[in-house]
Chain A
Amino acid sequence: MSAPLLELKDLQKYFPVKTGSLLRRKIGWVKAVDGVDFAIFPGETLGLIGESGCGKTTTSKLILLQEAPTAGIIRFDGEDVSGLQGPELMRYRREVQVVFQDPYSSLSPRMRVGNIIAEPLEIHTDLSREALAERVAEVLELVGLQPDLARLFPHEFSGGQRQRIAIARALATNTRLIVLDEAVSALDVSIRAQIMNKLEELQQTLGVSYLFIGHDLATVAHISDRIAVMYLGQIVELADSLELCAKPQHPYTRALFTAALPSHPDERHERLTITGEVPSALDPPSGCRFHPRCPHAMPKCAVEAPVRKEIAPQHTVACHLY
């Protein structure tokens, strides 16, 4: 396998929790991301799945350098990104782009679509006006929109078309990694299928990598090559997408699959075995963080945190059962 494009090593992000108004005392930490490791290879889609509050979005913010990690390393192209400055930082920002969930708030209503897409190009390149317009037309066509739509405003488009515009903007600067943070969750089913097919097509032609963050198992499994399952700030299982669907190992992953909705009325799932809800990241359980909800919890689980280890080729699980 080639060298990874992006590599996270033991990444941590703790947010302080303060109290009072005048003497702001720290009363604890929210461990939003607590020791996350994974790698994304060129031309690959890594799916990141988990329930709300598990640290998916914080992870994406760390990758986009919108937050500084408390500890740990992010390497892009083999280089540590924490010390990047000046032109090096610009290059990183040019090559790593993002598409958010809500295309109604991620596009400025006061700019024409052409200017929205041209903005990153104006910042990162010194193309002439003609070359800019040409590039804008080119990426619009890539995402399946008419190039002459560039003079319209975002409100003239539907949700699916706006998401295409957001993808076009992310692609404009010869991007190598796009973080798709719940990018298809807000779309109607038929439109969602259009966008997912488009994303796959673009990956095949351009070789761009995706970090696909989502909470719907079927959607994430469909688009991803590999999937990382996140629970309370930690990756509990990481495996090839088809292998994970066939043989989920971690009790939490299995619970996610049991909870997944059937794709046919005759498909019967066993009854969900886990109860309760995700505990607060402010005061996570000791040992394995899943143990209070786990149907297989042993005394050891409450004491010792499991380390993620390989149980099959390219399949790692953090659980004392293995």
Chain B
Amino acid sequence: MAELLRVSGLQTHYTSFGGSRVVKAVDGISFTLREGETIGLVGESGCGKTTTCLSIVGLLPSAAHIVGGNIEFDGEELTTKRAREMRHVRGRKIAMILQDPMASLNPLFSIYLQVAEPAYYHQRARGRSLRQRVRELLQAVRIPSPEVRMREYPHQMSGGMRQRVVGAIAMAGGPKLIIADEPTTNLDVTIQAQYLEVLKDIQRETGVALIFVTHNLGIVAKMCDRMAVMYAGKIVEQGSVRDLFRAGRHPYTQALLGSMPKLGSKERLLAIPGQPPNLARLPSGCAFHPRCPHAMSRCIEEEPVERLIDVQWTARCWLGDREPAKETYVSATA
């Protein structure tokens, strides 16, 4: 499959007080995404997942700036594009699904108008074919009786249905990439499962690539081909979901997996001590060292470089390709 998106060395910083204070929300991350592939961006709140996505679609708040790196999408460089040019990328080539469907739908417009808008502008559909297109989109996200539902307004729908409408809007411009930022956090478990199935079906039918932003590793296990684990604005490990779940190298990856409760097991959870760091006052060296059970003196002084572990598998840790001592975790979880 052809490469669709290449993010290389992306740095997005928030500046305040006239540039005297800089928060490095995203600090040199690189990843690629092929057509039809799904990557999961995982990490705790404040690690830079959302800022990464907003950098890609060019919707950063005014305090944030891309200060370095490139975003190459479908053969085009996005970081140098002007706002007017980005408007032809957003919706048409890259779409976004946000966490709260009520905030992304306009309460004053009918479902029909909101789903039709991207198809009108980006695919130049008009009249009967536009109506047909909206009906197909609502069917694709499994909304029952679409003819009736398209005349309704967002407040008449439940949370799960609203999120499906947002999915239909995302698909309306015929994008090659959908960025889903915590799309199911507000949904109930059975509704979440239905929604994830819908997204999978859409991907199978249209071959759209997905970036899934989540803190829920279960969603990654269910939906993604590859995953990138973020900590304090950096990708500390990335690789195939299967490799990382089986033998994640970075202590943070291992800790995240260990802190996930598993059904039918009462094993004590592996808790990471301490708090995620404040991005304005990052620890020296490796940002994870104050919480890391394997921290060495080198970790405090020097920031680890990205090392190749296997094909398509990298980690940023001084433990490098030497397997970290697993015993500490076994005893902690027993």
Contacts and interface: CB of A to CB of B under 8 A. Distances in A.
A193 B259 contact: yes
Given A189-B217, A217-B189, A261 B194 contact: no
Given A190-B271, A194-B271, A221-B261, A259 B266 contact: no
Interface in B173-219: 188-194, 197, 215-219
Interface in A230-274: 241-242, 245-246, 255-267, 271-272, 274
A300 to B, nearest CB: 24
Contact of B259 (A161, A190, A278): A190
A242 B263 CA distance: 9
A192 interface: yes
A226 to B, nearest CB: 13
Nearest to B216: A261
Nearest to B44: A188
A193 B189 contact: no
A222 B217 CA distance: 16
A196 B262 CA distance: 13
A215 interface: yes
B218 A261 contact: yes
A193 B269 contact: yes
B39 to A, nearest CB: 13
Given A242-B266, A261-B221, A51 B188 contact: yes
Contacts of B120: none
Contacts of A314: none
B270 interface: yes
A203 B296 CA distance: 35
* Interface of chain A: mostly helix, strand, loop or mixed: helix
A256 B194 contact: no
A227 to B, nearest CB: 11
Given A197-B268, A221-B261, A190 B44 contact: yes
Contacts of B260: 189, 218, 263
B259 A192 contact: yes
A274 B160 CA distance: 14
Nearest to B267: A222
A97 B210 CA distance: 44
A189 B215 contact: yes
Contacts of A263: 217-218, 221, 260, 262-263
A93 B316 CA distance: 52
B286 interface: no
Contacts of B189: 51, 215-217, 256, 259-260
Interface in B269-312: 269-273, 275-276
A264 B221 contact: yes
A265 B241 contact: yes
Nearest to B262: A263
Contacts of A196: 261, 269
B224 to A, nearest CB: 8
Nearest to A241: B266
A188 B182 CA distance: 13
Given A188-B215, A194-B271, A277-B158, 11 more contacts: A158-B275, A190-B259, A192-B259, A222-B261, A241-B266, A242-B264, A245-B264, A263-B262, A272-B193, A272-B197, A274-B190
10 contacts: A160-B275, A197-B271, A218-B262, A222-B261, A258-B193, A259-B190, A261-B222, A264-B245, A266-B242, A278-B188
